[in-house]
């Protein structure tokens, strides 16, 4: 019988590949809510309930309340309107957003193979390493993502690693995706 990790905040059992995106962005926690609850050193309400946590939207930067409920505990946008703005700015724009969000969450150089592994485990976007490299090429040209080429071994090809530029780590990624991917009208 396999044992699974437990969330550091609520002690809920974390089963890989069933927790949607949360393991990708918040390892050791079952959700964004539990991670913020722990980081901000909050405590349960007097009645034993979970308090709401104030967060900023990853598109418009408007404050919204994050609740410990099944459908909203990993929320990054203030509402459906901001989510749809990011989704509809260009076909497959959520792939770009997810890649940038992974790079921001991990805060370390990652190869296309590492990113592929994380995207495949999400079960939402199936992308191969070459597809990831092609997707990130636009962001490298804009200066949002930094690349570093390091040799694998003496006689083999080099591996390119990607990292989010430090100046964009605190920027709303949804707004950045919309600004970059929305076609310019003449």
Domain ranges of the chain: 90-181
Regarding the domain delimited by 90-181, which CATH topology (the fold level of the hierarchy) does it fall under? Arc Repressor Mutant, subunit A (1.10.10)
Q: Give the range among 14-18, 58-62, 105-109 with minimum mean pLDDT.
A: 14-18
How is the chain split among helix, strand and coil, in percent rounded to 5?
A: 40, 15, 45
Quote the pLDDT of residue 1.
41
Token pair belonging to 98 = 């997810």
Over the stretch 82-139, which tens digit does the pLDDT of each residue have?
Answer: 888 888 888 888 888 888 888 888 888 888 888 888 877 665 677 888 888 888 988 9
Residue 156 has pLDDT above 80, yes or no: no
> Phi and psi dihedrals of 10, rounded to 5?
-105, 0
Quote the pLDDT of residue 186.
57
Q: Choose among 148, 185, 183: nearest CA to 165.
A: 148
The mean pLDDT of 156-183, rounded to a whole number, is 85
Quote the pLDDT of residue 49.
82
Rounded CA gap, 39 and 55, in Å? 13
Residue 161 has pLDDT above 60, yes or no: yes
Q: What average pLDDT does the chain have?
A: 80
Global pTM value: 0.81
Quote the pLDDT of residue 19.
46
């Amino acid at each position: 019988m396999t044992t699974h990790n437990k969330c550091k905040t609520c002690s809920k059992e974390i089963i890989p590949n069933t927790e949607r995106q949360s393991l990708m962005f918040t390892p050791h926690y079952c959700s964004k809510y539990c991670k913020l609850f722990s980081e901000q050193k909050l405590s349960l309400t007097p009645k034993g309930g979970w308090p709401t946590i104030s967060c900023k939207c990853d598109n418009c930067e408007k404050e919204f309340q994050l609740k410990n409920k099944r459908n909203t505990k990993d929320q990054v946008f203030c509402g459906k309107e901001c989510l749809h703005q990011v989704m509809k700015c260009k076909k497959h724009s959520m792939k770009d957003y997810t890649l940038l969000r992974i790079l921001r969450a991990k805060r370390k150089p990652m190869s296309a193979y590492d990113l592929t592994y994380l995207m495949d485990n999400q079960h939402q976007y199936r992308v191969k390493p070459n597809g990831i490299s092609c997707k990130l090429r636009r962001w490298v040209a804009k200066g949002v993502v930094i690349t570093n080429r390091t040799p694998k071994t003496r006689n083999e090809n080099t591996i390119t690693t990607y990292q989010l530029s430090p100046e964009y780590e605190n920027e709303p990624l949804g707004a950045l995706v919309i600004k970059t991917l929305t076609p310019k009208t003449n």
